[in-house]
Structure 1
């Protein structure tokens, strides 16, 4: 049974079931609005709980860990674009023009926030550093992504969206600050009930998957491609994700990072954010087939969640024998 559980991850099955439900019963109309609000509330609750659990010293340790932050930044805004350019140069001629643009656009986006931190927590990694890396990536991405798009995709139009900064602040930073304020009241309770944060971790990701896949089903973007096109985009996404994750894992170990730091680097540095990517695409590619341009991003988002669910489970099963440096992992969620 233990071997079977390793081969069939229950959380991966839950992700697959969520996608299946979204395909059969996508959120439409008023239900789509309700799903969006519930997802937003779940993510806000997740960051409130993180704020209540993490000590200010642990947060500062994450911010001051410049080597780790540099690795994630380099992966997100240097390694990914280079791989995206290479893949586009080799395979772009086999794809519809909008899909080829979307594949390169995917590589220019910032990291995700909620799933990066959630999977780092599940894997028992350096959560404060992951929180800082993912949040900083999104804030920088508001400026860097449009600049990269303008430079590498001259056909794009539009400008830099300040709304993304507001969304990040309201959905992530504000709940986190409120959690920090509530820490003296509920911090000890949350430390005694670590599974509560874990349930919110997993639940928030399932809600994001359902809302995102529902939006794609309602927009009908899946029906605009044949099976061969869809299969090629799927394989190229796996190729890009695999290349980045393998590179980050090897580099983290060669550079002497702890296992907790490696987990944060791999999960934060290999992600691309759909929550910020789709609104940016609507502005940067105004008047173009945005639904097709964001298709590689939507597929990549699903793939990275499935892969990271399995990888986080494997990381979490490692022995407890090797303690993490106190400076960088103080009061991490279990």
Structure 2
């Protein structure tokens, strides 16, 4: 009896050559599992590779400051042709080669995604910026306010006008898709919103610019093309003529050609895109555009023409706008103030209609139905985490791929220095949004790795309680009624 209760002794182990090698391998594995110091060469190299775009922006600015005559308009490389046509054309050619036509078609049908993203980017964003700019302009004391283009202690009026122009520009191209991919968001949603935003931005931006600068207070900021006449109609006609020429050759044609090549030679195109890493090359061309824009500003001494207060104001305002709008996008796309689902409410209403006393007041019943229908409409605008991530990176961003040539066309009739000052808010916002987005990628990635309580397929506790009693489907009494209630709740 005692032998049966005795626990078996562990088997004897013999040390052999294989076990020694196994212990050595485990020791190496434990050593490798230890986190490296931050100054370890591999850690430093990984950090540089992960943030190469942000580092590239810094290098581009330093090169533009040190050698402004190389990439400025009319400089050594003639950037008004080589970059504003060549580099932008290659960016959209690569976009056409890498963008799946089937995914593009599927995402085009998602009209709620387009309505929210483009409405936020072209309507809500510029309206808020316009309100802030008017408050700042009105708050400036008459003695400290600056003359147009002059240097003083207040905020330069062309900086304020540049903020309005920045607000109506379309989203950026390469960085949005990259950040969405790194954060675990919906890359197809980000890609289609980038394409739609930059395509319709070429037509919407001039109209919004004319509308925001229509008052006498902002008359100096009205768009004027280089060859436009005196009337507003002639100016808009000339602006659209130049936009159709430059943006058509630099955006629409390369994008269309890329889509044709991808559908005619799908396997070869996919192999070349993966082998040559065309997405990285597209981002490099964006750095060339940033280099060119900063070179033009340093060549015209745009930063020296405005006050220090203007630059400080821009930096903090850009950070505040990007952070506040990102949080607002998360709130509006997830709607946390609403219940996770309407199924429980619909189930209760169906059970009340069957088992409770009929409601005598028909007006109260109609009001309940209207509220329920409005809840359904609002719930339909709740996006999953992946789509919400794409919206946050696309709706809040402003880019220079289309923004820089559009601004140069809108204000081609202004002197070069004033045009350079107008572009300062857009240029600074582009760089700051990339820096902040690099930080937000970490938080969005952790957020996307968690379960989505609004869109998970797991049954709710109410549905579990309804389906648990159904053991014998052929039974009588409560089992059958529970099955009927479960079916009614699913129908509801």
TM-score with structure 1 length normalisation?
Answer: 0.81
Distance 1:197 1:317 in 2: 28
Larger RCO, structures 1/2 (Cα 8 Å, 6+ apart): 1
Aligned counterpart, 1:236? 317
User: How much is the aligned-residue C-alpha RMSD, in angstroms?
Assistant: 3.4
Higher share in helix? 1
Task: Provide closer, same or farther for how the CA distance between residues 319 and 166 of structure 1 changes in structure 2, counting only shifts above 3 A.
Answer: same
Cα deviation for residue 131 of structure 1 reads: 3.2
CA contact (8 A) 2:297 2:421 kept: no
Task: Provide closer, same or farther for how the CA distance between residues 188 and 99 of structure 1 changes in structure 2, counting only shifts above 3 A.
Answer: closer
* Corresponding residue to 1:257 among 380, 383, 389: 383
Distance 2:94 2:410 in 1: 34
Aligned counterpart, 1:19? 61
Distance 1:219 1:300 in 2: 20
Distance 1:317 1:197 in 2: 28
SS of residue paired to 1:273: coil
Distance 2:449 2:273 in 1: 18
Q: Which runs of 5+ in 1 are unaligned?
A: 326-334
Cα deviation for residue 269 of structure 1 reads: 0.9
1:80-95 alignment runs, 5 A limit: 80-92=125-137, 93=140, 94-95=154-155
* 2:268 maps to 1:186: yes
SS of residue paired to 1:294: helix
Cα deviation for residue 70 of structure 1 reads: 0.9
CA displacement 1:164-192 (0-9 Å, x = unmatched) = 34433333333333333332242441575
Distance 1:174 1:260 in 2: 31
Aligned counterpart, 1:266? 392
Aligned counterpart, 2:161? 101
* 2:420 maps to 1:291: yes
* 2:200 maps to 1:135: no
Task: Provide closer, same or farther for how the CA distance between residues 314 and 20 of structure 1 changes in structure 2, counting only shifts above 3 A.
Answer: farther
* 2:136 maps to 1:55: no
| Aligned length in residues | 323
CA contact (8 A) 1:249 1:262 kept: yes
Cα deviation for residue 118 of structure 1 reads: 4.4
CA displacement 1:25-52 (0-9 Å, x = unmatched) = 2325543425852575444344334433
Aligned counterpart, 1:332? none
Distance 1:228 1:103 in 2: 15
Distance 1:247 1:215 in 2: 35
